């Protein structure tokens, strides 16, 4: 029989499908419902030491595309299909002292399900760095199975938090090291895609001792203007700030980031995030080298915690394993990274005239002369 379970960073998941740190995981009741629905793991909404206050009005909206025109809008209309999600929600508006007893109750109720605590603090001084340890220890003491460091939130004003921190390889390494020094459970670093070379920050995280990389968070973006009102489709008093784009639109973008990471660090562990709603989507990440995958937008649109989504993911994985049983595949680990080597530099893509390709150089720089070939 197909085995849906997987071991990732030393902990066993009933299946490789997790709810990512986002609105679906912002409360005890949602997390309990998610485990009941069958998710292999849940990453909590990011927990901070102090409470935050979110924007007035909608924090998450969904951008839709028409099937027969290039029209994009957040307005609901017949025949439109989901293009992406957009949010400018900050971390949990509940502070650590609110989360602590709830984390313990969740683990008591579902001890065999993996609970990953997403945490965030600053990094500008020693006091801020100690906040990371305070958060980590509190979550670990309540039974959390792993920690995910939020180094990637795309809408933080502070230069030492979120994606601002996540673009600095030295700070990424320092924060990871600080958390690892005081933790006994696995530590995952969640990186931002809004960087020049995500491999650089990943290297910093691994040097700091990260057990895995989660990639990637949403892409920094703005909502569209309404052509009739000339106002942003999401705004407060006519003003907007950058938010994060997620959902189907970012699937190919996130896969490109993941490919960079898994090729640079083929022996490391990765959790794939971005645009997943079906098993076929999740399979892309696994084939590129991910041991687990995380879902947000699809779950939000399915009774908030995705009961139908996780059922379809599990059924898809089961059918895939049964279909490929003749290959000896009985679990996810058997095909993780199987197609990672199919992503190659442009110079390796076959062309009608191989000798005419110079990679943008006037001469065949780096190529052997014809008589030496």
Give the number of C-alpha atoms closer than 13 A to the C-alpha of residue 257, restricted to the C-beta side. 30
Cα–Cα distances (Å) from 171 to 151, 177, 230, 330, in that order, read 10, 10, 40, 40
E strand or H helix at 86, and its extent? strand 80-87
**CA angle (249, 35, 95) in 5-degree steps:** 80
Q: Give me the sign of the Cα torsion angle 94, 99, 101, 103.
A: positive
**CA angle (184, 188, 103) in 5-degree steps:** 65
Any idea which residues carry the catalytic annotation? Answer: 153
Task: With H, G, I as helix, E, B as strand and everything else as coil, classify residue 229.
Answer: coil
Q: 111 near 135, Cβ under 8 Å?
A: no
């Amino acid at each position: 029989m197909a085995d849906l379970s997987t071991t990732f960073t030393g902990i066993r998941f009933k299946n490789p499908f997790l709810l990512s740190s986002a609105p679906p995981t912002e409360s005890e009741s949602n997390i309990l419902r998610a485990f009941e629905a069958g998710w292999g793991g849940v990453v909590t909404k990011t927990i901070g030491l102090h409470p935050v206050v979110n924007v007035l009005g909608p924090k998450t909206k969904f951008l839709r595309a028409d099937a027969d025109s290039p029209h994009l809008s957040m307005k609901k209309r017949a025949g439109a299909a989901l293009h992406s999600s957009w949010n400018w929600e900050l971390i949990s508006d509940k502070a650590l002292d609110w989360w602590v007893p709830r984390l313990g109750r969740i683990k008591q109720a579902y001890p065999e399900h993996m609970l990953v605590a997403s945490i965030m603090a600053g990094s500008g001084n020693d006091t801020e760095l100690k906040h990371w340890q305070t958060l980590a220890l509190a979550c670990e003491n309540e039974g959390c199975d792993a920690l995910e460091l939020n180094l990637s939130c795309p809408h933080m004003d502070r230069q030492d938090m979120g994606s601002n921190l996540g673009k600095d390889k030295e700070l990424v390494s320092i924060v990871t090291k600080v958390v690892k020094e005081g933790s006994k459970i696995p530590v995952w670093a969640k990186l931002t895609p809004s960087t020049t070379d995500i491999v650089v920050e990943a290297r910093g995280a691994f040097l700091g001792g990260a057990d895995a990389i989660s990639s990637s968070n949403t892409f920094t973006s703005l909502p569209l203007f309404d052509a009739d009102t000339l106002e942003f489709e999401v705004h407060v008093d006519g003003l907007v700030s950058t938010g994060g784009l997620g959902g189907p639109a970012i699937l190919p973008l996130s896969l490109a980031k993941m490919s960079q990471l898994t090729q640079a660090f083929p022996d490391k562990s990765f959790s794939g995030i971005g645009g997943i709603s079906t098993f076929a989507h999740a399979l892309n990440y696994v084939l590129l080298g991910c041991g687990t995958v995380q879902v947000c937008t699809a779950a939000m649109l399915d009774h908030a915690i995705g009961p139908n989504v996780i059922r379809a993911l599990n059924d898809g994985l089961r059918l895939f394993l049964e279909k490929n049983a003749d290959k000896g595949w009985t679990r996810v680990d058997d095909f993780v990274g199987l197609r990672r080597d199919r992503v190659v530099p442009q110079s390796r893509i076959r062309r009608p005239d191989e000798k005419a390709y110079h990679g943008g150089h006037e001469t065949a720089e780096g190529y052997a002369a014809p008589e030496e070939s």
